[in-house]
Structure 1
Amino acid sequence: MFSGLVRMASTCWGPVRRYARMNKDNNNNSNNSSGDDDESGGGEDALLWCRDLEKHSYGEFSFAVVQANEVIEDHSQVETGRDATFVGVYDGHGGPEASRFIRDHLFLHLIRLAQQNGTISEDILKSAFSATEDGFLTLVRRSCGIKPLIAANGSCCLVGIIWKGTLYVANLGDSRAVIGYVGRSNKIVSEQLTKDHNASMEEVRQELRSLHPDDSHIVVMKNGVWRIKGIIQGIARRLLKSALNEAARKREMRYNDLKKIEKGVRRFFHDDITVVIIFIDHELLVKNTTVPELSIRGFVDTVGPSNFNILQGMDAKAKAKNVV
């Protein structure tokens, strides 16, 4: 659960100063949703939402979400600005309240703390996570009397921030960040950037027990799988459809047939899935590229101005303060 796992974040923080320049010719093929590029075999999936190749400060990104639950429990966002890019994927469980709360508050806490400190750093990101956790726990305390099930809500949390040429990645739960870069023989190599927090790992179970000594049921075995409180456990659209094809294959059916299944019932075949792909171009790191400052929220498809614009001039103010 979000409240219990936030203390484990310290094992996963750290800037990654290696970027990958991706092959844009291959990427642009993702815009073609017909013929061989459409793994669905034709037709549209009413529960699938995507945005193909939008711009951010250091390249391009694509974004895809598919719903399985009656009420989607995945929430996500991409925030673009002149000097920074923010990506958040929040995999809710037990309901959408926790993941939606994180989407609505984590980035705002980050911006507030960045303004106060004049920069974005590992410590700022940790503080934003903690402030979000505190806010959600307050909401639970106020609401559990009239809505007791909110106390069983939780969410994984995966965040990536590019700020001044440095990539920061943080996660809670078993959502995963992977970087791909061109290696030897011009082959794309993938590298996992985050460490999964999953109750199937003995070290995670031990840490949870140490953090909750008064709760003998903090981790339990259920149907042969370790669960916390018995509850937990290429291009974006192309990766998402690959996952859906695999889900269909396991049930000995075609994706075309899977698309006909409605939300709620669809949950018996696969979970809500969110994929965000960020392409990073070395050359753009040294160019003064103008990009739209946008806030895009996955699946709900709302687009508006991003609060990143309030960070403009932050460095100049910090320098002036130091001079004084």
Structure 2
Amino acid sequence: MVSTTLRRIVSPCWKPSVEGENSSRGGVGNGRVDGLLWYEDSGEHVAGEFSMAVIQANNLLEDHSQLESGPISSFKSGPHGTFVGIYDGHGGPETARFINKHLFSHIKTFNGAEFTTENHGMSADVINKAFLATEEGFLNLVKEQFETKPQIASVGSCCLVGIICSGLLYIANAGDSRVVLGRLEKAFKEVKAVQLSSEHNASFESVREELRSFHPDDPQIVVLRHNVWRVKGIIQISRSIGDAYLKKPEFNREPLLPKFRVPNSFEKPILQAEPAISVQKLRPEDQFLIFASDGLWEHLSNQEAVNIVNTCPRNGIARRLIKAALREAAKKREMRYSDLKKIDRGVRRHFHDDITVIVLFLDFHLISNGSSCRPLVSIRGGAG
């Protein structure tokens, strides 16, 4: 049951249905929209199958995402691969939307520039360059708009990328989204969760130590307020695209609102845009990958998510993960899941964040053969 306090909050926005009825088709390859839920239940990518889903909680959806399967360089002939991007915005959707529009293009451009028959071009350096080019492009946009739209300097986004190419898996992350691998442990006949990304959130001691090492002369670089660690007492993440007010001192002034301004001037960026990048060879026992914004991981553990994907039908599995997270969110607030579904966007944010999930199932036969005969796919999640 909904408590009296919660019912008072949500009653003006109570609606008969948010998701679960009146599903409408958004067009081939554009997914379905069902109230605040967007989903593409199943499809094929170069290395297997996929499922995507997004649930909105904010007034404006701040999560953006994409899946691209086909050529991942500027050459149509290849190399072929699968690209996944999860862009969890904060302060507004502008940065996440910008990444959704530009990052993959930068990946293809830099990959094409380094492509040879011996070297397929994809590398950690290509991905890093693409992140930094996207960051530079957005900061230039902030500079153009700052005087008339100063709040754009306070908008940013986490950025999680996965690329499968030539039998290798590349993971790049800036922020606190997460990717988890489901790996078959044959000796135990179980599928175990293996986290592949590290999170740049000040709640982790290692992140606080990294910040202190970058800023040894600033005793206030991380501050504990109301039992939450924040960078400069403002933001929890230490790496992002955007957040210009914490990257360049020229934006740490009026007309930006005082709550976003750092009291003392700074010379070097407080937040970083460089991603943490890992590269690994995919193995036959690697079953699937779960990419998701932190809204999912607030309510499900890595192993809980892997168990759901491993034991349930593939079709609609991303939706099923979101439903499991929402059930947990409802339980934490001592309310019914059916009541949570009736709460409209905006007020929804009191109960859970925007959540984006992309599940990639891995077919090792396709991965090892480098198949390029699968259909081309280009999908933007949610409002993307």
Instruction: Verify same fold: TM over 0.5.
Output: yes
Aligned mate of 1:194, from 181, 193, 197 = 197
Task: Please state how far the C-alpha of 1:52 moved relative to its aligned partner.
Answer: 1.2
The reply on whether 1:267 has 2:264 as its aligned counterpart is no
Task: Please state how far the C-alpha of 1:208 moved relative to its aligned partner.
Answer: 2.6
What CA distance in whole angstroms lies between the structure 2 residues aligned with 1:158 and 1:222? Answer: 27
Aligned mate of 1:59, from 40, 48, 66 = 48
Aligned mate of 2:375, from 292, 303, 308 = 292
The reply on whether 1:277 has 2:279 as its aligned counterpart is no
What CA distance in whole angstroms lies between the structure 1 residues aligned with 2:360 and 2:56? Answer: 22
How many residues align structurally? 262
Structure 2 alignment gaps of length 5 or more: 1-17, 23-33, 72-79, 116-120, 238-308, 310-316
What CA distance in whole angstroms lies between the structure 1 residues aligned with 2:194 and 2:156? Answer: 27
| Residue aligning to 2:303 | none
Which stretch has the larger CA shift, 266-275 or 94-103? 94-103
The reply on whether 1:76 has 2:65 as its aligned counterpart is yes
Query: Counterpart of 2:165 in structure 1: which amino acid?
Result: W
65 and 136 in structure 1: CA distance in 2 versus 1, 3 angstrom threshold: same
Task: Please state how far the C-alpha of 1:186 moved relative to its aligned partner.
Answer: 2.2
| Aligned residues with identical type, % of pairs | 55
Task: Please state how far the C-alpha of 1:215 moved relative to its aligned partner.
Answer: 6.6
Aligned mate of 2:113, from 109, 112, 116 = 116
CA contact (8 A) 1:46 1:259 kept: no
Aligned mate of 1:159, from 158, 161, 177 = 161
RMSD of aligned residue pairs (Cα, Å): 2.1
- Using the size of structure 1 for normalisation, the TM-score is 0.76
What CA distance in whole angstroms lies between the structure 2 residues aligned with 1:98 and 1:214? Answer: 30
Matches within 5 A, 1:302-313: none
What CA distance in whole angstroms lies between the structure 2 residues aligned with 1:206 and 1:286? Answer: 40
The reply on whether 1:225 has 2:252 as its aligned counterpart is no
Which stretch has the larger CA shift, 125-134 or 225-234? 225-234
| Residue aligning to 2:298 | none
Which stretch has the larger CA shift, 53-62 or 211-220? 211-220
Task: Please state how far the C-alpha of 1:212 moved relative to its aligned partner.
Answer: 5.0
User: Counterpart of 1:185 in 2: which secondary structure?
Assistant: coil
- Cα deviations across residues 103-143 of structure 1 (Å, max 9, x unaligned)? 11111111110111111111111111111111111112222
Runs of 4 or more consecutive aligned structure 1 residues displaced over 6 Å after TM superposition: 213-216
User: Counterpart of 2:178 in 1: which secondary structure?
Assistant: coil
Structure 1 alignment gaps of length 5 or more: 1-39, 302-324
Query: Counterpart of 2:344 in structure 1: which amino acid?
Result: E
What CA distance in whole angstroms lies between the structure 2 residues aligned with 1:143 and 1:220? Answer: 31
Task: Please state how far the C-alpha of 1:298 moved relative to its aligned partner.
Answer: 0.2
Query: Counterpart of 1:64 in structure 2: which amino acid?
Result: A
| Residue aligning to 2:140 | 138
Matches within 5 A, 1:7-46: 43=21, 46=35
| Residue aligning to 2:324 | 242
CA contact (8 A) 2:110 2:130 kept: yes
What CA distance in whole angstroms lies between the structure 2 residues aligned with 1:286 and 1:210? Answer: 42
Structure with the higher helix share, 1 or 2:
1
Query: Counterpart of 1:98 in structure 2: which amino acid?
Result: T
| Residue aligning to 1:106 | 103
Which stretch has the larger CA shift, 180-189 or 234-243? 180-189
CA contact (8 A) 1:94 1:231 kept: no
- Cα deviations across residues 229-258 of structure 1 (Å, max 9, x unaligned)? 413361211111110110111111122111
79 and 215 in structure 1: CA distance in 2 versus 1, 3 angstrom threshold: farther
User: Counterpart of 2:188 in 1: which secondary structure?
Assistant: helix
100 and 209 in structure 1: CA distance in 2 versus 1, 3 angstrom threshold: farther
What CA distance in whole angstroms lies between the structure 2 residues aligned with 1:162 and 1:87? Answer: 9
What CA distance in whole angstroms lies between the structure 2 residues aligned with 1:289 and 1:144? Answer: 44
